[in-house]
Amino acid sequence: MGEMEFEQRELVKAVNLAVHEMNQSTKELRLSTPGGRFHVRWDEGGSATAMGQLAFFAEFLEVSGLFSRWVALPITRNY
C-alpha cells in the first residue's frame, strides 16, 4: 500500500510541474511588428522599462495596416 501512495505523489508532482511550465510559457507573447516577430515576456517584479508598451503599439500598427499606409504616403516638402 505504501508504493501506491508514492506513485500518486510522483504523479501529482509531475502534473503540477507540467501545469507550472504551461503557465510559464503563456507569459511569453509573440508579436508581429513591422520589424519582424518579437517575443515579449512580462517581468512581474520589474518596474517600468524604457520602451514600455512600444512593442504592442508596433504590433497594432502592423496588424491594422496603418504602418504600411503611413510609409506609402507621398513625401511633401513645405519649405
User: pLDDT tens digits, residue range 45-79?
Assistant: 777 777 778 888 898 998 888 999 988 988 887 77
SS3 content of the chain, % helix, strand, coil (to 5): 55, 15, 30
* pLDDT greater at residue 42 or residue 2: 42
Query: What residue ranges do the domains of the chain occupy?
Result: 2-72
CA angle (32, 35, 40) in 5-degree steps: 50
| Calpha distance 14→36 (Å, rounded) | 36
pLDDT recorded at residue 27: 67
pLDDT at 22 over 60: no
pLDDT at 15 over 70: no
pLDDT recorded at residue 5: 55
> Could you tell me the three cell numbers for 53?
508598451
